[in-house]
Amino acid sequence: MDNKEQLISLLSAFICHASSHLPDDVLKRLGEMREIEKEGFAATIYEAMFENMKLADELKRPSCQDTGVLQFFVKAGTKFPYLDDLADVLREATIKATKEAPLRHNAVEVFEEKNTGNNVGHRIPWIDWEIVPGSSDVEIYLYMAGGGCSLPGFSKVLMPLEGYEGIIKAVFDQMTSYGVNACPPCLVGIGIAGSAEVAAKLSKKALLRPVGSHNPNPRAKMMEEEIENGLNKIGLGPGGLGGKLSVMGVNIEQAARHPATLAVGMNTACWAHRRAGIKISSDLSYDLFTHKGVTL
Amino acid sequence: MSTYELTMPVSDSDIKKLKIGDVIFLNGTIVTGRDDCHHRVVKQGKEFPVDIKGKAIFHAGPIMKKNDDGTYTVVSVGPTTSMRMESCEAEFLKETGVKIIIGKGGMGPKTTKGCVDSCAVHTIFPGGCAVIAAKEVEKVSGVEWLDLGMPEAAWIMEAKKFGPLIVSIDSYGNNLIDENKKTFNERKAPVVSDISAKLDFLE
Ligand code: SF4
């Protein structure tokens, strides 16, 4: 096997593993939430969620049938020797994993309105690139963007006088109207910036941060905690069937804004938050850092 | 709140027993159908290719594996967002005579009225629990409209004790998720104003 094929196999195994196993931070939080949600439908649903994760592991099957549109967020070291091949490798790994996991066929070409049948299509899998100068490693985050959990996503540009209150209102309205369809408890990602697409992109990047982590800016951290507590007071419960809690957490990412605009973007990750991160070195050794102790 | 095990086809009197918050387990034929199936039946006037009178329509796009002999095995099948079918569901109930809708999240006033008019219920299967659901399917007995692609096709499945299904709309016009949403919205207003007061960051 040449190095390119080896990379394709490694990344295909990475995708397969992510489709049936949640990352460590999400598992830990769901376990904590289950201890609090002991009554009514909430208890029944948590029981089903944990049973489902056990079965997915035992039977090596995707834990949710909606394995999403595959999105990769790459931090590419400029000295990583296989950088030229990487986009191609990610597409090939997607096709391979679609057969092996197997994943659901989720790429529908716009205008033709045809499902491509292999999860690869125009600009899909989506690849987001960040350059890391001087590094010889590559860090790849996989996010499986399901339909239900992508549905509450939005971004819009507020006028600064609407203030941060405007952001709060928009987020809460979206969560009480669409949140129930996104298989709560969700992780809520919020981006704040000067234009719609920057805010939207940051809201997705916020979802890549571990559950329970906080933005280093003290005001942002305070806002994360306030929104999390506030949403929990509403008590969406698992599946929107009511309970003591609503969300796994709230992560905010920001970029400096224009003086005349205050844009907000929001994305939700469902409880089956299939995010996985792998760091690959130039000798192709790897560390699956979101799922500790796993060998692919 | 009661728990029932029902075998399909179900009758109007079976449906009339059910109230929101009840839990049911189903035996018999469940057929998947989501956006495109509803579009074909309601918007394009095509006949649904499976007789689902008295049976269940499952808002789901499964992962299926084709076996060497041409049959299929379900790998993973869980509910999708039912609200996407809101604009068509009432007509779909009337056209097909289907009695039990399975999905996730709630549905709106049009479907609620449709459930009264056609004596049907909407039920919720725990979202994201697709391996449990797959294990409750004994056999995939066929597929229609596969040209729509794997998630959108009408997969015909024989299920045993399929559930838990929580009744979210009953045939009396009650809507569980709607009631929950009212509660959520009542709680929201004071929470939002409380947080907003703490966020006056503008200089
Ligand atoms: S919202 Fe998530 S858990 Fe629910 S069906 Fe979609 S991908 Fe699966």
- Examine residue B184 and state whether it is found in any structural domain, yes or no: no
pLDDT-based confidence at residue B201 (cuts at 50, 70, 90):
confident
Q: Decide: A217 and A254 in contact? Cβ < 8 Å.
A: yes
* pLDDT at position B1 over 90: no
* pLDDT at position B109 over 80: yes
Domain count, chain B: 1
Q: Quick one: DSSP state of residue A102? A: T
pLDDT-based confidence at residue A150 (cuts at 50, 70, 90):
very high
Q: Is the ipTM of this complex over 0.90?
A: yes
pLDDT tens-digit map of B94-103: 999 999 999 9
Q: Can you give the pLDDT at residue B44?
A: 97
* pLDDT at position A250 over 90: yes
**Between A and B, how many CB-CB pairs are < 8 A?**
176
- Examine residue B19 and state whether it is found in any structural domain, yes or no: yes
Q: Is A182 in the pocket of ligand 1 (CB under 6 A)?
A: yes
Q: Can you give the pLDDT at residue B60?
A: 96
Atom 3 of ligand 1: nearest residue by CA position = B128
Chain B CB within 8 Å of residue A163 CB: yes
Q: Quick one: DSSP state of residue A284? A: S
Chain B CB within 8 Å of residue A168 CB: yes
% residues pLDDT > 70 (chain A): 100
User: How many Å apart are CA A72 and CA A84, to the nearest integer?
Assistant: 16
User: How many Å apart are CA A183 and CA B103, to the nearest integer?
Assistant: 11
Q: Can you give the pLDDT at residue B157?
A: 98
Q: Can you give the pLDDT at residue A37?
A: 97
Q: Decide: B153 and B32 in contact? Cβ < 8 Å.
A: yes
Burial-class residue B161 by CB neighbours within 10 Å (0-12, 13-18, 19+): exposed
Q: Which two tokens stand for residue B36?
A: 């495109």
Q: Which two tokens stand for residue A142?
A: 């996989």
CATH code at B15? 3.20.130.10
The model's pTM is: 0.95
SS3 B39: helix
Q: Is A180 in the pocket of ligand 1 (CB under 6 A)?
A: no
pLDDT-based confidence at residue A27 (cuts at 50, 70, 90):
very high
CB atoms within 10 A of CB B26: 25
Domain of residue B33 covers 3-176
Name residue, tokens 């409209």. B145
The DSSP line for A125-176 is SEEEEEEETT---EEEEEEEE-HHHHTT-EEEEEPGGGHHHHHHHHHHHHHH
pLDDT tens-digit map of A165-201: 999 999 999 999 899 899 999 999 999 999 999 999 9
User: How many Å apart are CA A201 and CA A204, to the nearest integer?
Assistant: 5
User: How many Å apart are CA B25 and CA B121, to the nearest integer?
Assistant: 13
pLDDT tens-digit map of B46-87: 999 999 999 999 999 999 999 999 999 999 999 999 999 999
Q: Which two tokens stand for residue A152?
A: 């509450």
**Among A106, A270, A275, which is best to mutate for testing ligand 1, by the most ligand atoms less than 8 A from CB?**
A270
Mean pLDDT calculated for residue range A129-148 = 97
Q: Which two tokens stand for residue A276?
A: 């996985």
A90 CA distance to ligand 1 middle (Å): 23
pLDDT-based confidence at residue A1 (cuts at 50, 70, 90):
confident
